Amino acid sequence: MAAREELYSKVLPRRLRQNRSGSAKCSSNLDVLLSMGFPRQRALKALASTGGRSVQAACDWLFSHVDDPFLDDPLPREFVLYLRPSGPLQNQLSHFWQQSRIACGKNKAHNVFPHITLCQFFMCADHKVESLCEALQTTVQQWRGRFPSPLPLELYTSSNFIGLFVKEHVAEVLKQFAADFGTEAARKAEVHVEPHKKQLHVTLAYNFPTDHLATLEKLAKGIEVKLGCDWLAVLFSRDIRFANHETLRVMYPYTPQNEDEMELVVGDFVFMSPMDQSNATEGWVYGTSLASGLSGLLPENYVGLADESDTWVFHGERRMFVGLLDSRHHDTSPGDTPTVSLICHPVQVLRITGNHTRQPKRSFFVCRHGERMDVVFGKHWLSLCSDSKGRYVRSNLNMPLTLPLWGAQRDYDMDAPVTVFGSTQSQLVGEALLEGNIVIDFVYCSPALRCVQTAQSILKGMQQDGKLKIRVEPGLFEWTKWLSRNSLPAWIPPADLAATHFSVDTTYRPLIPIGKLTVSESYENYMSRSHQVTKEILSDCKNTGNNVLIVAHASSLEACTRQLQGFVPRSAKDFIQGVRKIPYLGLCSCEEQGNSGQWRMVDPPVLPLTHGPNHSFDWRETLLHE
């Protein structure tokens, strides 16, 4: 980082620093990059690779690719023109996307967002990208008011494909728009664009197992569009070198231990081709980083599958909203940076009737609790929030305003609560479940206070607090070998939790009572206990609800799911290493395979929650200097 800052200080000329403050302006992003001393070809590649968003984005790309062996390669990028829905139809399709993933796992349609393909992928050199964007803008303006309204769609299904097809007479109009864009692109950018010749459609699912057809078809029939839809013309590009590679997302950071290994940064993407794996040993893969362009070996369990379009570059920032007959839209001012080009009126699409209200497969989710007080403030955190009379007084904004049953012989030293941020984290997960239309029928949690608080906040985010009761299950407590004392914590009983306004089920009879737990249990006993209690929970909930949420500990994500999938427990050493990688609010999802009692792990229905440490700030120590 220091080297990068030093490099910035050397290359940022005075005129750019003035431009940042508004006292001077350069004529274009390219002019600014050239004035900084970057070679023209590199500057153009950086702008093309970042969608021309800004000088800063291009600079960041250039500095991160300083060692990229292909930095000066003149290879063109591949582009494609799509129509994308927005508004109510997009919401309906996003809902279908999530539900189909939960019900049947990922299929090929999930690799790219919902769209109508208007042309085949075509190549464009970096120095022609701006002209290509201008060609789209010109074509959009020429077609103002000419797009069909509404844009009718019809549901079509086959043994391995489900989609919404544009009616033929309307599809011909869309194809003419694509042809006009091709003509304009050839004139302005000297590229060859081949319009899509097949039937125009929005793909919902394809290349899926035959036994998933009925479920996917039922979900597709549940798509219902009650309002209109704005169709958006969008240009995307991708690096031609990785067109046929598998796209992976970095889940955990990794520091190289050998020269042939690659550094991993969370959030980066890695391109991997099966053809390049000859030098990779078991548990390792060979790939190339999107962020740096560097290649090397990386541990396979540090990455996960991503969607192909996650790494595509969007080239719509310079497009202006085209004037519509609908007075809601207007051209943007020069200072605006719209994301897409709106080319159609809000329209009413064909309504596909159906009544899909529940997920067709049983699912259960295991979630780790939120950030805990003793980890943030240390093992002596209690002394930081007690006054001379033993009353609770918070000394940091991340400490909760109150604690339940403070002073009533509570064993907070063994049963730490969550922080304010821990509660906020938990509520975010609940809100994400609500936005994804995920219905939770039963909630079970470990008796640890931090788990009860996390479950309560998740229900709050789902707007279910007070409506859905939490079942406190001692059998879900973590491996007792990790306890610092040779005794179990004095957990707050469910009746006392309910008296302090926790939404707990006081009538629930635990599957494994507290008296059955033993301290310093063996790893085998812990895995057996977790597996057994999870099986009994799922058995008790069968036929009375589809989805179960378990809120427990980092170790629970594996202990409650591994044997249900038919796997034997890993070694204790490997288990502990895996547990260390699970963050607060880490969440995993499993779904039942028919009625066989077998379960498999699938993509969680919510996005991951990334957070980092924020150390205590003392202004006296930091700011007072004599």
| Among candidate residues 340, 291, 270, 108, the one with its CA nearest the CA of residue 203 | 108
pLDDT of the residue at 389? 81
Identify whether 318 is a catalytic site residue: no
Domains of the chain: 35-74 (1.10.8.10), 77-241 (3.90.1140), 246-308 (2.30.30.40), 363-602 (3.40.50.1240)
List per-block mean pLDDT (blocks of 10 residues) for the chain, which spans 626 residues.
43 41 52 91 93 90 92 93 84 84 87 92 94 92 77 88 90 92 95 92 91 91 70 90 91 90 92 85 90 93 90 66 34 34 37 38 92 89 84 90 73 88 95 88 95 96 90 96 86 92 93 93 95 94 86 95 90 89 92 79 86 69 62
What's the CA gap between 55 and 383, in Å, rounded? 50
Q: Are 455 and 562 in contact (CB under 8 A)?
A: no
pLDDT of the residue at 517? 94
Identify whether 201 is a catalytic site residue: no
Say if residue 150 is preceded by a cis peptide, omega within 30 of 0. Answer: yes
Query: Which of 369, 450, 471, 529 is flagged as catalytic?
Result: 369
Identify whether 212 is a catalytic site residue: no
Residue 136: how many CA atoms within 13 Å on its side-chain side?
Answer: 29
Q: Are 114 and 84 in contact (CB under 8 A)?
A: yes
pLDDT of the residue at 231? 81
pLDDT of the residue at 10? 41
Query: Which of 196, 368, 471, 529 is flagged as catalytic?
Result: 368
SS3 32: helix
Query: Which of 249, 319, 372, 553 is flagged as catalytic?
Result: 553
pLDDT of the residue at 94? 83
What's the CA gap between 455 and 573, in Å, rounded? 29
pLDDT of the residue at 38? 92
| Among candidate residues 551, 362, 533, the one with its CA nearest the CA of residue 444 | 551
